[in-house]
Amino acid sequence: MPQEKEARTYRKPLPHIDEEMRPWWEALQRHELYVQKCRDCGDLRFHPRALCPSCLSPRTEWLRAKGTGKIYTFTTTYQNQASGFRDSLPYTLAWVELDEGLKLLTNIVDCSPEQVRINMPVEAVFDDVTPEVTLLKFRPAR
């Protein structure tokens, strides 16, 4: 089956998705991005977790994020011995700050490394790397 072939040929690390984080990854498969907000203290958080680390409340609201933000910092990697990445050098790793104020680690795609700048506006790209996993990446905002 083509899908199985695809899963076998994707050689970069994939997340181990447990029940606590499954809703977030399932949303990505629908090409939707969510962040969590504590219903008790109002603190926003990423990555998803069951209890608010600020007040330990389990009462959580999932907020749909706009999917836009800006580059907080980045690096273009020219050397990585790990399987999968060795064959796709150079690539750009970045911390992106979402408009909601949360930073997450990601790749900047659809853009040459020379064009990447701190504070560059970016938008979410949902990369369906396997039938089971969609990764959240970012590209320059259009």
Partner 1 sequence: MSLSRKTAVVGVYEHPTRFAPDKSMYQIMAESIRGALDDAGLTIKDVDGICAAGMGMSAMGIVGFCDYMNLTPNFMDSTNIGGASFVAHTAHAAAAIHAGLCNVAVVAYGSTAASARVAIGTGGGGAGGDPCDQYELPYGPTTVGAYAMIAQRHMHEYGTRPEQLAEIAVTMRYHASLNPVAKYREPITVDDVLASRIISSPLHLLDCCIISDGGGAVVVTSAERARDLKKKPVYILGVGETVRHAARGQRDFLEIAAAQSGRLAFERAGVTHKDIDMAMIYDSFTITVLTTLENLGFCQRGEGGDFVTGGRLRYDGELPLNTDGGGLSSNHPGMRGIFLVIEAVKQLRGECGPRQVKDCKIALAHGTGGALGTRHSGATLIMTNQ
Tell me the closest approach of the beta carbon of residue 58 to partner 1, in angstroms. Answer: 15
Pick from 32, 72, 125, 126 the residue near partner 1 by CB under 8 A: 72
Cβ neighbour number for residue 115 with a 10 Å cutoff: 10
123: amino acid identity, one letter: E
| Contact track, partner 1, 3-42, x by CB under 8 A | ---------xxxxxx--xx-------------x-------
Is the CB of 102 or the CB of 140 nearer to partner 1?
A: 102
Is the CB of 1 or the CB of 132 nearer to partner 1?
A: 132
Query: Using the rule CB under 8 A, is 73 a contact of partner 1?
Result: yes
Is the CB of 95 or the CB of 126 nearer to partner 1?
A: 95
Pick from 8, 81, 87, 142 the residue near partner 1 by CB under 8 A: 81
In the 8-state DSSP scheme, what is residue 53? T
What Rg value do the Cα atoms of the chain yield, rounded? 16
> Which among 110, 104, 128, 142 has a CA at the least distance from the CA of 25?
128
Pick from 3, 26, 40, 101 the residue near partner 1 by CB under 8 A: 101
Three-point CA angle 123, 124, 127, nearest 5°: 145
**Per residue in 2-38, is it b (16+ CB within 10 Å) or e — as a string?**
eeeeeeeeeeeeeeeeeeeeeebbebbeeebbbbbbb
Residues that bind partner 1 (CB under 8 A): 12-17, 20-21, 35, 43-47, 49, 53-54, 72-85, 91, 93-95, 101-107, 113, 118, 129, 133, 135, 137
